[in-house]
C-alpha cells in the first residue's frame, strides 16, 4: 500500500497507519525474526532449567550488559563501513583506569568525576582510531588490530594485575532490579545509554551520513557528505559507547582486569552480523545486535546448564551462527527474487 517514502496517491489515515506498521515490520523483519528466536530460546531455557525465572533475568541482564554495549559500539562503526577490533582492549583499559583511580581516590563523589574522565578517555581512544584510519588510509582492520595491542599494553601498564575498586553507587547501578524483577537495573542502564546516544543520532544529519558512507562512499561523497569527517566521528561515538562498556565491566566485577578478553571483540562482531547489520556497511541498527547478544548469552548459559562439554559448546555456537545467517540470506534471496 503506502510506505514511509510516500507514494503519489494519498491514502486515508487508517490505511496509512496500517501501511506504516507494515513498512516498519518489513524494514525490521530481521530483528523481529530474531526476537521470535529469543522467545523460543527463553521457553527452551525454562524447559531445560525449571529454576530459570524472573530473578534469573537480572543475572542475565548484568552479565550481558558489557557485551551488549560493545555490540552497540561495533554496530555504529560497522554501519558506517568500518570495523573495530580494538573494542575489547579499549574496554579493558577504561575499566582498569576507572578501577585504579577509584581505589586511589576513594569517595562516592569523586567517582562521578572519574566516570566522566573515563568517558572522555573513550572519546579519545575512538578519536585516535578514527584519525589514524582517515589520515593514513590504512584499512580499518589493520589500524584497529594495532591499537588492540596498544590499548592492551597500556592497560597492563596501568594495572599489572587485576585489582582496584569501584564506587558503591556504580556497582549498585547494574546489579539487582528496580522494584520488580521484571525490570533488571542493568537492562534499564542499557536502554538509557543507548537511547541517549542512538535516538538523537539516528534523527540527525550525522546519522544519515553514517548510513550513507557505509552504503556507498562514492554516492555519499558526490552528495556532499564529508566522508572522512563522518568516518572519524563513527569511531569517536564507538569509543564513547565502548567506554560505557568498560565502566560496566568495572561496575559488575568491582575491579579492573588488565588482560582484555578477546572474545568481547569477536562476540561484538558476531552479534552485529547476527543482529542484521551488514558487514559491508549501510544496513541495520543497534537494536538487533543487542537482541543477538542476549541470544548468544542464553545459548551459552543453556549449554553450561545442560553440562555440554564446553569445547563442544563453542563448536555448536559457531554452527548456530552460520545456520541463522544462511537461513536469513535464503529468505532475503527469496524476497528479492519475487
Binding site for other proteins (CB under 8 A): 3-8, 23, 26-27, 200, 203-206, 208-209, 211-212, 215-216, 218-226, 278, 282-283, 336
CB of 233 to other proteins, least distance (A): 8
CB of 300 to other proteins, least distance (A): 32
Question: What does the alpha-carbon distance between residue 67 and residue 85 come to, in Å, rounded to a whole number?
Answer: 14
DSSP structure class, residue 184: B
∠166-238-185 over CA atoms, to 5°?
45
CB of 269 to other proteins, least distance (A): 20
Question: What does the alpha-carbon distance between residue 49 and residue 289 come to, in Å, rounded to a whole number?
Answer: 25
**Minimum CB distance to other proteins smaller for 46 or for 335:** 335
Three-state DSSP at 216 gives coil
**Minimum CB distance to other proteins smaller for 184 or for 282:** 282
**Minimum CB distance to other proteins smaller for 168 or for 332:** 332
**Minimum CB distance to other proteins smaller for 9 or for 109:** 9
Burial (CB count within 10 angstroms: exposed 0-12, middle 13-18, buried 19+), residue 105: exposed
Residue 256 pairs in a beta bridge with 163
**Minimum CB distance to other proteins smaller for 48 or for 280:** 280
Radius of gyration (C-alpha) of the chain in whole angstroms: 21
CB of 67 to other proteins, least distance (A): 27
Residue 184 pairs in a beta bridge with 177
**Minimum CB distance to other proteins smaller for 15 or for 108:** 15
**Minimum CB distance to other proteins smaller for 28 or for 146:** 28
Cell numbers representing residue 169 in the block: 553507587
**Minimum CB distance to other proteins smaller for 85 or for 212:** 212
CB of 287 to other proteins, least distance (A): 17
CB of 26 to other proteins, least distance (A): 6
Please state the three-class secondary structure of 169-181 as a single string.
HHHHHHCCECCCC
Asked if 243 and 70 count as a contact pair (C-beta separation under 8 A), the reply is: no
CB of 200 to other proteins, least distance (A): 8
CB of 245 to other proteins, least distance (A): 24
Q: Which long-range contacts (CB under 8 A, 24 or more apart) does 219-227 make?
A: none
CB of 151 to other proteins, least distance (A): 28
Q: Which residues contact 51 (CB under 8 A, 6 or more apart)?
A: none
Chain centroid, CA 170 distance in Å: 20
**N-terminal to C-terminal alpha carbon distance within the chain:** 17
| CA dihedral of 189, 35, 88, 211, whole degrees rounded to 10 | -90
Asked if 324 and 37 count as a contact pair (C-beta separation under 8 A), the reply is: yes
**Minimum CB distance to other proteins smaller for 46 or for 203:** 203
Amino acid at each position: 500500500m503506502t510506505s514511509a517514502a510516500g507514494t503519489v496517491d494519498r491514502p486515508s489515515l487508517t490505511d496509512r497507519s496500517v501501511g506504516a506498521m507494515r513498512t516498519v515490520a518489513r524494514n525490521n523483519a530481521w530483528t523481529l525474526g530474531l526476537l521470535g528466536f529469543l522467545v523460543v530460546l527463553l521457553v527452551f531455557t525454562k524447559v531445560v532449567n525449571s529454576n530459570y525465572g524472573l530473578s534469573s533475568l537480572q543475572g542475565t541482564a548484568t552479565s550481558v550488559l558489557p557485551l551488549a554495549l560493545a555490540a552497540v559500539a561495533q554496530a555504529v562503526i560497522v554501519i558506517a563501513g568500518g570495523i573495530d577490533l580494538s573494542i575489547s582492549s579499549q574496554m579493558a583499559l577504561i575499566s582498569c583506569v576507572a578501577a585504579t583511580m577509584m581505589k586511589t581516590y576513594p569517595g562516592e563523589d569523586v567517582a562521578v568525576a572519574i566516570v566522566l574522565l573515563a568517558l572522555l578517555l573513550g572519546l579519545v581512544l575512538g578519536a585516535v582510531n578514527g584519525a589514524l584510519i582517515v589520515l593514513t588510509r590504512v584499512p580499518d582492520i589493520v589500524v584497529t588490530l594495532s591499537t588492540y595491542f596498544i590499548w592492551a599494553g597500556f592497560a597492563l601498564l596501568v594495572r599489572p594485575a587485576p585489582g582496584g575498586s569501584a564506587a558503591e553507587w556504580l556497582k549498585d547501578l547494574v546489579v539487582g532490579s528496580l522494584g520488580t524483577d521484571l525490570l533488571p537495573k542493568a537492562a534499564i542502564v542499557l536502554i538509557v545509554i543507548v537511547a541517549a546516544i542512538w535516538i538523537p543520532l539516528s534523527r540527525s544529519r550525522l546519522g544519515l551520513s553514517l548510513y550513507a558512507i557505509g552504503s556507498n562512499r562514492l554516492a555519499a561523497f558526490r552528495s556532499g557528505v564529508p566522508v572522512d569527517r563522518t568516518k572519524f566521528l563513527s569511531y569517536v561515538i564507538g569509543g564513547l559507547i565502548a567506554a560505557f562498556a568498560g565502566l560496566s565491566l568495572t561496575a559488575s566485577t568491582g575491579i579492573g582486569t588488565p588482560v582484555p578478553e578477546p572474545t568481547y571483540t569477536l562476540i561484538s562482531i558476531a552479534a552485529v552480523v547476527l543482529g542484521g547489520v551488514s558487514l559491508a556497511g549501510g544496513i541495520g541498527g543497534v537494536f538487533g545486535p543487542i537482541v543477538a547478544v542476549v541470544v548468544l548469552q542464553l545459548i551459552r548459559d543453556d549449554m553450561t546448564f545442560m553440562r555440554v562439554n564446553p569445547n563442544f559448546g563453542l563448536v555448536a555456537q559457531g554452527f548456530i551462527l552460520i545456520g541463522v545467517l544462511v537461513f536469513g540470506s535464503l529468505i532475503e534471496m527469496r524476497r528479492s527474487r519475487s
